[in-house]
Every structure is written in C-alpha cells, then in structure tokens.
Amino acid sequence: MTVIKNLQAELSRFRLRLVAAAAFVLFCFALLVARLVYLQITQHDSLLERAETNRVTVLPIVPNRGLIVDRNGVVLASNYSAYTLEITPSKVPDLERTIDALTAVIDIQPRDRRRFKRLMEESKNFESLPIRTKLTDTEVARFAAQRFRFPGVDIKARLFRNYPLGDVGAHLLGYIGRINQVEKKAMEDWSEEDIANYRGTEYIGKLGLEQAYERELHGQTGFEEMETSAGGRAVRRLRNRPPTPGNTLHLSIDIKLQALVERLYGDRRGALVAMDPRNGEVLAFVSKPTFDPNLFVDGIDADSWKELNEDIDKPLLNRALRGTYPPGSTFKPYMAMAALNTGKRAANVVVQDNLTYSFGGRTFGSATGDRAGPKDMRLAIVTSSNVYFYSLANEMGVDMIHDQLEPFGFGRKTEIDLLGEVTGILPSTEWKRRAYKRPEQQKWYAGETISLGIGQGYNNFTMLQLATAMSTLASGGERYRPRLVREIEDVVKHVQRRTASDALSPLALRKADVDVIRNAMHDVTMEGTSRMVFAGAQYQSAGKTGTAQAVGLRAGQTYSSIKADERKRDHSLYISFAPYQAPTIALALIVENAGFGSESAAPIARRVFDYVLTGTYPSEEDIAKVRVGQVGAPIGTPRRVEDIPLPGAAASVPDASASSASAAAASVEASSPASRVPRPAVPASAVPAAIPGSAAERRLAPVAPRPNPGASR
C-alpha cells in the first residue's frame, strides 16, 4: 500500500521544532550569561569576600593574663602552661564510649567526668572542652601514639592561673572562671570593640581584683590569618597580629603583713583592714577563714566545693567587704566627735555614771567591771562608759547621730576598688520607714536610740567602713577612697600609671575638737582598756576597744546563760591609728565571738603596728599565744621582718609535665593559636556563692543580731 505524505507540511513542522530548540538553547545560554554577569560583575565583591573567608581562617589569639604583685613586687597571681586533654563533642560519634576508651590510655577520674558534663551544659556543642588538665609528659606521649583512635580528641597547651601563696589574700585576689550565661548576656551591652577583644576568651575574673580589674588584666586579643585547604587543614600563615599581654597590677598590700595577720587569727573568724590615712592605700585586707583559690583553677571538685560551701565558718564570705557587725564601743569616739561638732555636749561636761541608765521604764546596764563615778568626755572614752553615751544618744536623737556620722563613711559604700561591697546600716527615721512594711514597724521609738550610743541596736558596719572612719578621724577630717591597686603597669611600653586614691572633700572638723578625741584614744592605750597590750611599745598610738553583742538577749536572759555556745559570745573589736602625732596607719579589726576587745583584737593590732613602724616580726611563741587570745604585749624575742621568708616561698607551679609546667610566655607564643588561651577550667555552676549578691552568698552572710540595747565593753 502506498502512503502519501505531505512533505511540505512535515518540513514546516521540522523547521518549527528546530527553531524552538534553537531558541531554547539560546535562552539557556542567555540565562548562563546573565548569571555569569551577575556573579562576576554584580556580586563580584561579595563573592570574593566569601571565597577569601573559605580560603582564609581568622583565629583569635587570647593574650596572657596580667600579673598581680604586692607593693614589694612579690607575685601574687601568675600564669603557667600545661597540657590538657580536650574533646569536641560535635566531632565525637559516641561520647561515652570514647571517654571509656580514653580512660585506658589516660587516667580520667569520676570527678573529671562530672566536671566535663557540667562544662557541656554551659558550652556550645562545637567547643573544645577539657576532660583532663595538667597532663604529664608520659601521658602526652601515650596519647600521641594512639591519637588516630580518637577523632575529635586532642592535646592542647593551655595557660592556667596560679596563686603561688595559696590561701594568703584569697578574698582580695579572687580567681577566674569560665564565662557563664549571665556574663555572656551582660556582654551583649558592651561596645563592639570590647566584644571583639573577648573573642576566643573563655575565662573571666569572678571575684576580688581578678573581677574588678578584668579589663586591665585581660589584655588585647591578637589574631592569625591562616590559609586553609578545602578540607579545612592549615596550609600557611598569611599574616598575624600578636596579642598584647594584660597589664600588671601593683598593689598597696604588703603580702607578708597580710600573711602575718592571717596567722595571728589562727582558726578564729574575723576581718581586719589596715590603711594609710595619708592617701587611702590599703596595707592589709584580711578575711578569716580563707580558702585556696588554686582549687578553682581547673574546676573545683564536688567534695572540695561541698566542704567550702557547707562549712559553718563560711570561708567563701569576704568578711572585710561584706560582713557587717555592730561596732560596740568602737562607736563611742565618733559619738563624742558628733557631740562636739554639734555643740550638744562640751568635753568638760561631767555625767554621773551609776552603772545604770533608765529610760521609758527600762534599765540599760554597763559592762561587768565598769566603775561608777563622775566622768567627762575623756574619761568616758578611756573607761568606755556606757551610761555617758546612753545619755548622749538620748540628747542627740537618731537623725542627728545619722547626719553627723554618715560623712565618716558609716552606712554607705566606701567605693573601694572591689565589687560587691555592702552598705551596712546607720539607722535613721527615714531608714526605718524604708526598711519595714508594717506601719507599727516603721515608727522610730525613742528607746531605740539609747543603744545606738554604745554601738548596738540597728548599727551594723563592715571593717572596711570602720577603718575608713578611723583614717578620717586620725587625719583630722581628711578623707580618701580606699584603694588596693596603687599602680598599673603596661608591660609592653614599660610605663606605670599611678592610681592614687581619690581625695574627697575634707570634713569641717575643728582641730581642738579632734584633739579631744585623739587625746582620749591615746589615753586608752596608756591607762585604759588596751594599756597592757601596748606596754613597752616604741611608738605612741591611739585606739578604742569594743565588745559587741553577737546575739540579742531575750527578756530575763543573761549573757552568762548563752556563753556556753561559742558562736553566741560577744565579738572582740579594736580601732586604732599610729604613730599618735603623725599617723601613717589606721586599722579596724574584729575577732568573732572572742569576747573583750582588749583580749583578742587589740593584741593583733599591736603586732601590726610593730611590723609596720618598727620592722619587727613576733616570735613563734608570741604568735601561738595571740592565736588563742592568751597574751597582751609581745613575748619572746621578736625577729626582723626582712629575715622572715614569704609564706609558701618554697611552693612552685603545680606539677604537670616538666616541659609544660614552665610559665614562660615564649613557649606559649610558639604554640598554636588555641594554645595561647588561658584555660583555668572552672565551671561557673560550681561556684554560685562566688558571685557577689547571689543567693548562695546571701546564705553565707553572717546573720545580724536582733536590735537589743545591752552592755557594750
């Protein structure tokens, strides 16, 4: 059968298809050309930057943290390098199995596992986290031989913080720890420059000077631009900017004096602050008991943390900065100064002291051993007359007391260069209205004023406030903000920047009035309550003992009935300055639950003055007696300060490997960029009480006694 085709129609259809195909091909080529133009011309700069980013990796180089040294150049905080075994969780398929396998190669304890899990909870999955720190050379070599078995696990060199003197001065130095989520949130408000400077930084100051001077100690972060292959391997270094080490803090603290005071306290609790009234420099800043900040360097273990956190003596509480106490009779010189300044009572006015004072149907007593008789202002201070100051407080009233004593620094922050300072309580009618909710509680009753005169009642202050007030009185009204750091040294430029204490406007005190108080305090050391302690001193000083109630007494209860409980006994206080004519040191201290100020607190002050003014160090026999409150004036043969070795002078950097334990910055600079990051592995969750004002620290704070007017010695 013959098929008849329309060749012309088929040819037309073929041509049409050919044109459509050609148009489609041309359209595709047009799309490719357009895309090429878009990528090569329009997006050229952006894509070039992205390509460079893929080719070049910028690695932050965290700087060496600055040193902290005392006024004589003794290193109090330094750095050392050590090897750590680290895991990047995102690169490990089976984390538990990997850790189990690692245990056969390197000793990994259960506490290391627990710490690692805490770090994982606080960190991002792609971060490298340490599971073991301070490896020995043997452990490093053993792992290196089997590294191929452990993808995502590596050995890195890290910088660790070291506190060579252990627990000496721990509360003023503080320590560093891993940046927690709260701190990361706070960093969002920083400037872009500051945020950039902390890229790669994992640790930050948590307490004390480490926290207060974080920006100075941190330094400037450097960087390295590394060319990488498609697989992410480093090919070569393109350029780098070395980091700038943190600045060195030169403190006003004499660490040997600090260590002596801590020894003199022994196992007792308390605080001491000594400062130079001529400029506000703090010479000693003691809180007892203390703790070893090295425990936190690579993450405190659960047992050590539990021991510190649950210790009834509260070693984590900075008593000098945050512990508030009733001042007892150390308050009386300031009451007398206020009376003279306001004209409420002249120095020669005599008050008959019959050992009791009645007001509102209540009788206020005197301390055991007080002697009755007529007393003027000088004799009232020398004999620590309660009746004299009961009546004075009643005449002045609470608001006048507040207004006169607040300029001395009571009831407000001294603005020392530490964070977390508390204000204490200097009561007033306005304060009580703000402090209480119920109307009947907000009212100030005249009877509440009586106890204020002897430093009891609502009065509660820190030893830092008492020392600052003593400094102001010793200098005749000159005031300075207390300072722990006297100089900041730029270790690159070798330039030291003086950080002298800020001078505040002086108090308008009449010299004749100041002399009355100073003379009376001088007589306290010559014929008063501290005369036996300062017998034979090569200098003249002025002071005032204080014995303050730790707990209030209920109706019908006597002090002797609670004396059996050591923690309910009275606190022992002493304020003083020396030399009497031209003071160079003023101090305030408390020994908790130690009784009379002349028995426990004043002997410590005497040894401090001997150290500073005569360069003598007490004998071991004398130290042993002072620690238990069994001696007044020094006994035994004193030694020269320069002959006494520093505490922990034989201590060295914590033992890691012989090669990695050296703290030489040069060896760190020679390592990889990541190895230059200081890595004290302190899990933030392990130290909740470290953060000033936290709930845990509030649990540690000493409970102030309920206001109860009573005997003050």
CATH number of the domain to which 220 belongs: 3.90.1310.10
In a domain, 363, yes or no: yes
CATH assignment at residue 277: 3.40.710.10
In a domain, 357, yes or no: yes
More confident residue, 403 or 295: 403
Residue 695 is predicted with a pLDDT of 35
Last residue of a domain, which of 197, 217, 249?
249
pLDDT at 514 exceeding the cut of 50? yes
Same domain as 546, residue 431: yes
Q: Which residues, in sequence order, are bridge partners of residue 546?
A: 573
Same domain as 189, residue 273: no
Same domain as 285, residue 219: no
Closest CA to 298 of 670, 686, 697: 686
pLDDT at 50 exceeding the cut of 70? no
Same domain as 171, residue 267: no
| Contact of 23 with 15, CB cutoff 8 Å | no
pLDDT at 345 exceeding the cut of 70? yes
Strand stretches in 432-498, DSSP E: 479-480, 485-490, 495-498
Same domain as 280, residue 159: no
Mean of the pLDDT values across residues 204-232? 85
Residue 566 is predicted with a pLDDT of 77
Establish how many alpha carbons lie within 13 A of residue 425's alpha carbon, considering only the half-sphere containing its beta carbon.
24
- Measured distance CA(605)–CA(695) in Å, rounded: 34
In a domain, 144, yes or no: yes
**In what helix (H) or strand (E) does residue 473 lie, and over which residues does it extend?**
helix 463-474
End-to-end CA distance of the chain: 139
Residue 268 tokens read as: 């007792």
Sign of CA dihedral 375, 377, 382, 385: positive
In a domain, 152, yes or no: yes
In a domain, 655, yes or no: no
Closest CA to 471 of 577, 610, 365: 577
Q: Identify the active-site residue in 252, 329, 600, 660.
A: 329
pLDDT one-digit tens code per residue, 479-505: 999 999 999 999 888 888 888 667 899
Q: Give backbone dihedrals phi and psi of 58, rounded to 5 degrees, phi first.
A: -100, 120
Same domain as 369, residue 507: yes
Cis before 579 (ω within 30): yes
Last residue of a domain, which of 617, 643, 669?
643
Specify whether 329 is catalytic: yes
Same domain as 300, residue 402: yes
pLDDT one-digit tens code per residue, 443-460: 999 999 999 999 999 999
- Measured distance CA(681)–CA(684) in Å, rounded: 9
Last residue of a domain, which of 606, 622, 643?
643
In a domain, 141, yes or no: yes
In this structure, of 179-193, 224-238, 448-462, 527-541, the range with the lowest mean pLDDT score is 224-238
In this structure, of 236-240, 367-371, 396-400, the range with the lowest mean pLDDT score is 236-240
Same domain as 208, residue 111: yes
- Number of domains the chain is built from: 2
pLDDT at 571 exceeding the cut of 60? yes
- Measured distance CA(469)–CA(38) in Å, rounded: 75
Residue 183 is predicted with a pLDDT of 84
Same domain as 579, residue 432: yes
**In what helix (H) or strand (E) does residue 306 lie, and over which residues does it extend?**
helix 302-310
pLDDT one-digit tens code per residue, 250-294: 999 999 999 999 999 999 999 999 999 999 999 999 999 999 998
Mean of the pLDDT values across residues 162-176? 94
Beta strands at 542-548 and 351-353: parallel, antiparallel or unpaired: unpaired
In a domain, 25, yes or no: no
Burial of 445 (0-12, 13-18, 19+ CB in 10 A): exposed
CA distances from 269 to 164, 286, 288, 449, 597 (A): 23, 10, 5, 30, 14
Residue 57 tokens read as: 């990796």
Residue 134 tokens read as: 């301070």
Residue 290 is predicted with a pLDDT of 96
Q: Which residues, in sequence order, are bridge partners of residue 461?
A: 325
- Measured distance CA(283)–CA(274) in Å, rounded: 5
pLDDT one-digit tens code per residue, 414-425: 999 999 999 999
Same domain as 88, residue 198: yes
Q: Would you place residue 513 in the very low, low, confident or very high pLDDT band (cuts 50, 70, 90)?
A: very high
Q: Which residues, in sequence order, are bridge partners of residue 270?
A: 288, 591
Same domain as 529, residue 467: yes
Q: Would you place residue 158 in the very low, low, confident or very high pLDDT band (cuts 50, 70, 90)?
A: confident
Those residues with Cβ within 8 angstroms of residue 558's Cβ, 6 or more apart along the chain or in another chain: none
Domain that holds residue 333: 255-552+562-643
Q: How high does pLDDT run on average in the chain?
A: 85
pLDDT at 584 exceeding the cut of 50? yes
- Measured distance CA(259)–CA(608) in Å, rounded: 11
Same domain as 303, residue 202: no
- Measured distance CA(316)–CA(289) in Å, rounded: 8
Q: Give backbone dihedrals phi and psi of 662, rounded to 5 degrees, phi first.
A: -70, 140
In a domain, 308, yes or no: yes
Closest CA to 174 of 298, 303, 296, 314: 296
Residue 653 is predicted with a pLDDT of 52
DSSP secondary structure string, 332-395? Answer: HHHHHHHHHHHTSS-TT--EEE-SEEEETTEEEE--TT---EEE-HHHHHHTT-HHHHHHHHHH
